């Protein structure tokens, strides 16, 4: 009778540790890039939303007339201003807090006579130009 040699098919411990080490190195190199991409996308979303507010304000003025809305506009807070322009924004949520991307604050302009862009700043930080 012949004896058939059986060979254990599988990976050795060294091979498994090498593979896990390589995957760990790749993850270590990739995670900072993924975080940077996420932060950049949040910033771009904030800029896009601030520009949307600017366009909504312009549409609100065109629809209602500058003289009719300018005096009442300055007496309202940011949330009330957002409520006024929300019908002019596409798919806008019901509150300004829901509309703002995480970590950013958008403040609609306070004066419609001297129309300026909405203020955009990082939460707890300074405003930045967009």
Task: Give the pLDDT confidence score for residue 129 in this predicted structure.
Answer: 87
What DSSP state is assigned to residue 2? P
Q: Note the pTM of the prediction, 2 decimals.
A: 0.74
Task: Give the pLDDT confidence score for residue 71 in this predicted structure.
Answer: 84
Give the number of other Cβ atoms within 10 Å of residue 33's Cβ: 9
Task: Give the pLDDT confidence score for residue 9 in this predicted structure.
Answer: 76
Residue 84 near residue 93, CB atoms below 8 Å: no
Structural domain boundaries in the chain: 13-122
Task: Give the pLDDT confidence score for residue 127 in this predicted structure.
Answer: 87
As beta bridge partners, residue 122 has: 104
* Token pair for 75: 């007496």
Secondary structure class of 36 (helix, strand, coil): helix
Task: Give the pLDDT confidence score for residue 73 in this predicted structure.
Answer: 92
Q: What are the per-10-residue average pLDDT scores of the chain (130 residues)? A: 68 94 94 90 94 95 91 92 95 93 92 89 88
């Amino acid at each position: 009778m012949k004896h058939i040699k059986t060979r254990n098919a599988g990976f050795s411990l060294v091979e498994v540790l090498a593979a896990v080490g390589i995957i760990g190195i790749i993850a270590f190199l990739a995670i900072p890039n993924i975080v940077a991409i996420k932060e950049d996308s949040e910033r771009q979303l904030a800029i896009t939303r601030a520009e949307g507010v600017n366009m909504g304000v312009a549409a609100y003025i065109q629809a209602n007339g500058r003289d009719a809305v300018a005096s009442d506009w300055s007496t309202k807070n940011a949330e009330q201003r957002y409520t006024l322009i929300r019908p002019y924004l596409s798919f806008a949520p019901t509150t300004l807090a829901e509309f703002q991307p995480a970590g950013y604050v958008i403040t609609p302009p306070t004066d419609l006579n001297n129309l300026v862009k909405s203020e955009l700043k990082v939460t707890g930080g300074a405003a930045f130009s967009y």
